[in-house]
């Protein structure tokens, strides 16, 4: 989606709301494509006393294997993004301003960049995921196993003493 910004920049108080779906199915995270369904993008570009800002809320379904137990897991993430749009660079501008000198904003591209920065670097089915047994490979969230856990050599002496 391309937003033409000229009339927004020229009219104090004007705004341009948007609400659409965007496919990010091509984004790859460690060899898989976790965003299988279109993401919802809602927000607005507005001119408030000459300052043009873009606010967007992006909601997406993320499905991938848990990094600990490899169970296929789906989660919903919601991100909020905000950018100042500027028509030309000047000294007062800070780093998070977005330069739109041609008065066109490729919103799809911007949302994709923003989402890419927010995606989880570690993906777990739950914070308490117990993972898999390093010896028999059982998913310990579902099953207990009888494997003897390797004993810390510093504790071994103490255990012998207790027996
Ligand atoms: Zn897990
Ligand atoms: Zn085991």
- Using CB atoms within 10 Å of the CB of residue 67, give its burial: 0 to 12 exposed, 13 to 18 middle, 19+ buried: middle
**How many domains does the chain fold into?**
2
- C-alpha 2 – ligand 1 centre gap (Å): 40
Together in a domain, 49 and 85: yes
62 shares a domain with 136: no
- Residues of the domain holding 33: 2-129
Residue 91 CB-density burial (10 A; 0-12 exposed, 13-18 middle, 19+ buried): exposed
Are 98 and 111 a contacting pair, CB within 8 Å? no
One pLDDT digit (tens) per residue for the chain, 163 residues: 999 999 999 999 999 999 999 999 999 998 899 999 999 999 999 999 999 999 999 999 999 999 999 999 999 999 999 999 998 877 665 667 899 989 999 999 999 999 999 999 999 999 999 999 999 999 999 999 989 766 677 766 766 776 6
Distance (Å) from CA 66 to ligand 1 centroid? 5
- Taking the CA of 144 as reference, the closest ligand is 2
| 151 C-alpha to ligand 2 centroid (Å) | 14
Same domain? 120 vs 147: no
What is the pLDDT at residue 33?
95
The predicted pLDDT at position 97 comes to: 86
CA of 75 to the centre of ligand 1 (A): 13
Could you tell me if 112 and 73 lie in one domain?
yes
Cβ-contact 78, 61 below 8 angstroms: no
Do residues 114 and 162 share a domain? Answer: no
Q: Output the pLDDT for position 92.
A: 64
């Amino acid at each position: 989606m391309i937003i033409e910004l000229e009339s927004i920049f020229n009219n104090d108080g004007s705004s341009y709301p948007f609400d659409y779906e965007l496919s990010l199915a091509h984004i790859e995270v460690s060899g898989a494509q976790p965003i299988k369904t279109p993401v919802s993008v809602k927000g607005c570009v507005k001119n408030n006393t000459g300052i043009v800002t873009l606010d967007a809320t992006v909601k997406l379904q993320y499905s991938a294997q848990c990094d600990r137990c490899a169970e296929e897991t789906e989660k919903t993430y919601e991100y909020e993004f905000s950018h100042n749009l500027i028509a030309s660079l000047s000294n007062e501008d800070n780093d998070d301003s977005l330069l739109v000198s041609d008065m066109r904003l490729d919103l799809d591209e911007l949302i994709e960049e923003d989402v890419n920065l927010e995606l989880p670097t570690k993906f777990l089915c739950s914070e308490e995921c117990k993972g898999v047994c390093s010896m028999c490979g059982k998913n310990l969230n579902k099953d207990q196993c009888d494997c003897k856990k390797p004993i810390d050599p510093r504790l071994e002496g103490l255990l012998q003493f207790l027996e």
